[in-house]
Amino acid sequence: MDWITEPCPCLLPMQDSGETSIDILAATRKVCPALHAVFLPDSVWPDFQNWHIQSDKVAFHSSVLLLALERGHLSRVTSPIHRYLVHSGSVRPEVRQQYLKDLRERWMLYADPIERHRKSRIFRSRVAELQFAEWLETRAGAVTGLEALREGPDIEVTFAEGSVTAFEVKFLGGEDEDFRMILQSVAGLPAGGPVSPYAAINYLLFRAYEAAKQFSITSVNRSVVLIVEDLTWWRFRIQLSNRWIDWANPRFIGQDPTWDEFLKEQQKRYPGLPSDVAATLREVDAVWIVRETYGYQFQLEYKVDRRST
């Protein structure tokens, strides 16, 4: 993958000029192809800018890009775009249209707060996939394939010793019910409710299964990656630390009506559920569980070697 020869202003520390954040972002966007060609093209920018001139009094939503700029880590969002998707100031011709569509930051333009939350999760998942590719490349090996640029696994990496691993990545962001509770709290209403630890860990296992299903027949190593947003890590922490998932024979556990409804819906897409969970995951070499912490930093919390379980 090519890389930029001179640092774009988006990759440098922002100076306090006394301007508003949206004005600083506007000025940076003019010279940054990651912003004006991918995240905020001319078709998105006017509505994006107008929305942020006003404040969201219902959900207090704000752009991922704008928050990253204000918190000093905009480069963590734009760097993988520069590295993989743009070249010489333009979008690479091989970038797939679905990725360009999903990477437009326009999720906040939806009227319903819950729908905004869901759309933001799609946006975050695309960004996280590319951020993880960069994280791998700066630590482990060379990225030699991306789904963003061709059909195939999300990421393909060639390591220093010559081995190749294909990665399928799933992002686990804030759940809709957690967000509904936040909305109730913001509105001054009672907020709370039961949280099933069984439903939570079953959902994590389901996302691993879902990723494993996406692999096609390949001779290279295959790894499933689950990136868990820091704000939702609490849902899985105790179950993971106490090894509620038997990775040698993984299966859904416990009784929970909400989970039963979710599973029933997923059986429309995956008729083999739940009986084929263990067999499907047996076909992958490893499962990585990664925690995304403040500033879009990644911590590998668990790495399960499926071939040794």
Q: What is the pLDDT of residue 218?
A: 67
pLDDT in tens, 270-283: 999 999 999 999 99
What's the order of all strands across the beta sheet hosting 141-146?
141-146, 155-159, 164-172, 221-229, 286-293, 297-305
pLDDT in tens, 167-204: 999 999 865 454 344 333 333 433 345 568 888 899 99
pLDDT in tens, 206-258: 999 999 999 976 668 999 999 999 988 998 999 999 999 999 999 999 988 88
Q: How far apart are CA 217 and CA 156, in angstroms?
A: 14
Q: Are 301 and 240 in contact (CB under 8 A)?
A: yes
> Which two tokens mark 76?
């963590």
Q: What is the pLDDT of residue 57?
A: 54
Residues recorded for the chain: 309
pTM here? 0.89
Compute CA distances 282 → 183, 206, 233, whole Å: 40, 14, 25
Q: Where are the domains of the chain?
A: 1-109, 141-309
Compute CA distances 39 → 44, 78, 89, 148, 250, whole Å: 8, 9, 14, 14, 39
Q: Are 26 and 152 in contact (CB under 8 A)?
A: no
